[in-house]
A and B are shown apart, each in its own frame.
Chain A
Amino acid sequence: MARRVTDEQIAAFVDGHLEGTEAALVAAVLSEDEEARAYAAEVERANGLLREAFGAPMGEAVPVGLRDSILQSDDAAADRKVVALAARRPARWPLAKMAIAAGVAVVIGAGASAILVSQMTPGYQQIVSLGTAPADGPLHKALERLPSGAVSDAGVQPMVTFRDAAGRICREFEAAGEVPDHLEFGIACRGDEGRWDVEIVVAAPLTEASPQGYRPASGPGGDALEAMLDALGAQPVLGPAEESELLRRGWR
C-alpha cells in the first residue's frame, strides 16, 4: 500500500526532528494509517529499549577519582608547544588506577612513564628499565633491527609498530627474562637522535589460565598499556610493508 510518507519521515517524527508542515503531514498520516502507526510505535519502542539496555550508567554516581581529576585539573596551559608532552600528561591517572584495580604492588615512574610490577617473585630483576635504552643493549638492538614478530637471541620481541601523535615511531615489545614464567612488555619510541625511549614497562607473571600464555592485549597490564597508547595518541599500527621499508631506511 502506497503511503504518503516514508519510514524515515515517520522515524524522524518520533525522534522529534520534524517541524512545521512536514510534521503536520506525518501526524495526519499517523492518524489515519494503521500501518504507519505501527511503525511509529515500533521505532518508539526500540528507542525506549535502547535507552534501557544501556541505561545502567545513568544510575551510578560519578566516581570520586574521576570527578576530582576533572575539577582539580590544571587549566589549559599556555606552553603546550610540544604535542607529545601535552598528550602524555593524562597517562598518570589511569595507570595509577589500573595498578590499584589490579592489586599491582608497585608503580614507579615520573611524568609520562611508568612501570608496573605485579606481584612478582621476590628478588625479581627487571629486564627493561624506563628511559633511554642503552645503545649496546639487547632492547635497542631488537627495536632497531627486527621486524615485528621476530625474537632476538636475548629474548626481545617487537610486537607492532605505530606512530604517536607527534609522529615518532613507537614499538610495542615483549621481553622474556631469566625468571621463568615472567614477561615484561612495554612501549618504546624512537627519538631524533636514534635513541629508543622506553615509555612504559609492565612486568607480569605468565598466567596459567591461558594455554597460549600471558596476553598483553588484555588484563590490567593491557589496560595500562592501552591508557599509554591513548596518552601517546597512537595511530593505527603500520602494515608489514610499511614497517620493513622504514626498517630498511633506518626508521627515517
Chain B
Amino acid sequence: MQQDVKRDMVALVPRLRRFAYAISGSRDEGEDLVQAACLKALDRLDQFQPGTRLDSWMFRIVQTTWIDRSRRRVRRAEVSDPDGMARRSDEGVGARGAEDRMTLERVRAAMASLPEDQRAVLALVAIEGLSYKAAAEALAIPLGTVMSRLARARSKLLPLVKETA
C-alpha cells in the first residue's frame, strides 16, 4: 500500500519542483525544497490519509518547509548575512526567443514581488491547476481566503504582465 503512495510521490516530483520554483523563485532552492519535503513526507507517511489527495498533502509540506526556511533566513540575515538572500535567475529554459525570455523573466519577477501567501495560492491555482477547494486544503486556509488572496495577487500581477503584451 505504502509502495503505491511512494510511486505516486515520485510521479509528483516534477510538479512539486515547479511549485517550489514558483514560490521560492529559484530553481536550486526549489530542488532542495522538494528533496527536503519528500524526505519529511516519507518520515510521516503514516500521517497521510489514503483516499485524500497526495498532491495537496505534498504541496503543503513543500510550502511549510519553504516558510520555515524563509523565516530562519530573515532572522539569520539580521545576524550574519548582510548580503541578504541571493536569488539566481533562470536562463529562461523552454522559451522560444529572446523576447519570450524577457517576458518570462518579467513574469518571474512579478511573481517574486508578491507576498508569500499570495504567491502560494496563485501557484497552486494558476500553475498547478488545483481547484480553489484543493488549494484551500493544501494551504490549510478557508476557501474565502483563497479567493481574496487570489484577487489581490492578480490585481498586482496582471498589470505587471500586461505591459509585456
Contacts and interface: CB of A to CB of B under 8 A. Distances in A.
Interface of A: 7-8, 11-12, 15-17, 42-43, 45-47, 49-60, 62, 66-67, 69-71, 73, 75-76, 86-87, 89-90, 93-94, 97, 148-149, 159-160, 162, 212, 215-218, 223, 226-227, 229-231, 234, 236-237
5 nearest CB pairs, A to B:
A90-B39, A57-B17, A237-B75, A76-B46, A53-B107
B140 interface: no
Interface string B88-123: 001001110000000110011001000000000011
Given A75-B2, A76-B2, A57 B27 contact: yes
Contacts of B150: 8, 11
B122 A50 contact: yes
Nearest to A18: B132
Interface string B71-98: 1110111011111001000100111000
A212 to B, nearest CB: 7
Contact of A71 (B7, B73, B154): B7
B141 interface: no
B142 interface: no
B157 A66 contact: no
Interface string B124-165: 011101011000000000000001001100110110011001
Contact of B127 (A51, A71, A73, A97): A51
B103 A42 contact: no
B81 A54 contact: no
B54 interface: no
Best-buried of A50, A76, A159, A218 by chain B (most CB within 10 Å): A50
B65 A56 contact: no
B32 A223 contact: yes
B162 A42 contact: yes
Given A7-B151, A75-B45, A54 B18 contact: yes
Best-buried of B3, B65, B69, B76 by chain A (most CB within 10 Å): B76
19 contacts: A8-B150, A8-B151, A43-B158, A49-B103, A49-B104, A50-B127, A51-B126, A52-B94, A52-B104, A56-B27, A76-B44, A86-B44, A90-B42, A159-B76, A159-B79, A217-B81, A227-B32, A230-B68, A236-B72
Best-buried of A8, A54, A76, A223 by chain B (most CB within 10 Å): A54
A70 B38 contact: yes
A159 B3 CA distance: 42
B131 A16 contact: yes
A195 to B, nearest CB: 24
B21 interface: yes
Contacts of B77: 217
Contacts of B53: none
Contacts of B72: 162, 229, 234, 236-237
Contact of B43 (A12, A51, A89, A97): A89
B54 to A, nearest CB: 12
Best-buried of A8, A45, A47, A56 by chain B (most CB within 10 Å): A56
